Amino acid sequence: MSEIDTPNVDIREVVESLLLKMDVPYSVTPYDQRLHDVCCRRAIEQGYPMGTDPAVPSLRPFIPSGVIMAATAYAHLENEATRVFIALYTAFVVFVDDVYQRDNGAVRVFMERFVRGEKQADPLLDGLAHILQELPDHFEPVVAGIILTATLNLVNASTLEFQTQGMEVSHHAEGYPGFSRQMSGSSETYALMAFPRHISVQNYIQCVPEATLYVAYGNDVLSFYKEEIAGDTVNYISVLARRQGVPNMTAFQELADEVGRSAAQVGKILEGDQEAHDAWQKFKAGYVGFHTSFQDRYRLNELMN
């Protein structure tokens, strides 16, 4: 084995150990073209930009991200309208994640224009503002409210990340990496959406802090390989490693352990409600399936095969 291959083997061993610990198999879900077509029709009906000219802003390139998310992590939700909503919401979130790197100006004014009900500086951000109005159609009020605030935090985090690029992280700022990570992923959103609307919120709300950690840190762990080979140094694991003064692999292993702990803790919290527990188990595996099925983005097939 060559020296250059060793880090990849180490990453693979950590991922394999985590999946084994969580009793989640490595699987790839075929792309759901039917759901894709339904999402495209819905987006066009809502007036979202869906052109094919690469020079013109369009939601179309981001829809596969949402389709894969809805078809894996939320396949257990029986309401197709909600799964379509999740797919389109995710497409907008991925767009925002991309936009802050190349056009932060439009994102920076999103909040004030959203609050004032004004037209956004980008037609896709107009679409995001519009789809947030659909939250009460799919989730009960308190859940819809948490999702709304989490989404606004995500948009704000895009500006924060842009404005703090190159900022040295103090070794004393123990809470800062977690604070910025919490804002940036809309993790509460994806944790809450795992539970069908008919399940009472009191049956699962206590697990949300740990479920949120699973969503956020699970994504960090399963994104680590593609970020390492890309030389990305601003991801959460790299920032955490620099603050702690440890190698990236050490921070990676510690975070993977936290993902396993969080997943197990959620299961224990939900032991008293079989339906909520079953929803969580399906989401837990499906969320991993999102990353393993989205080969173009996460490239885990290169790592695991």
Using one digit for the tens of pLDDT, what is the confidence trace for 223-240? Answer: 999 998 888 877 888 888
Whether residues 37 and 17 fall in one domain: no
Q: Provide the residue range defining the domain that includes 63.
A: 32-163
Judged against a pLDDT cut of 70, whether residue 103 lies above it is answered with no
CA nearest to 75, candidates 145, 43, 135, 27: 27
Whether residues 40 and 127 fall in one domain: yes
Judged against a pLDDT cut of 90, whether residue 243 lies above it is answered with no
Whether residues 147 and 228 fall in one domain: no
Top-confidence residue, 234 or 212: 212
Among 163, 191, 211, identify where a domain stops.
Answer: 163
Whether residues 158 and 226 fall in one domain: no
The predicted pLDDT at position 124 comes to: 94
Whether residues 299 and 245 fall in one domain: yes
- Of all residues in the chain, the percent with pLDDT exceeding 90 is 75
Residue 229 lies in a domain: yes
Residue 168 lies in a domain: no
Residue 69 lies in a domain: yes
- Could you tell me which residues come within 8 angstroms of residue 110 by beta carbon, excluding any fewer than 6 positions away? 120, 121, 125, 128, 129, 155
Mean pLDDT of the 35-42 span: 98
pLDDT band for 31, please (50, 70, 90 cuts).
very high
Whether residues 52 and 94 fall in one domain: yes
pTM as predicted? 0.93
3-class secondary-structure state, position 171: coil
Top-confidence residue, 124 or 236: 124
Q: Rounded distance, CA 249 to CA 172, Å?
A: 21
Whether residues 83 and 111 fall in one domain: yes
The predicted pLDDT at position 22 comes to: 98
Using one digit for the tens of pLDDT, what is the confidence trace for 254-271? Answer: 999 999 999 999 999 999
Whether residues 125 and 205 fall in one domain: no
The predicted pLDDT at position 275 comes to: 97
Whether residues 111 and 226 fall in one domain: no
Mean pLDDT of the 92-106 span: 79
Q: Rounded distance, CA 74 to CA 49, Å?
A: 25
The DSSP annotation for 218-262 comes to: HHHHHHHHHHHHHT--SSHHHHHHHHHT--HHHHHHHHHHHHHHH
Using one digit for the tens of pLDDT, what is the confidence trace for 138-168? Answer: 999 999 999 999 999 999 888 887 777 777 7
Whether residues 211 and 231 fall in one domain: yes
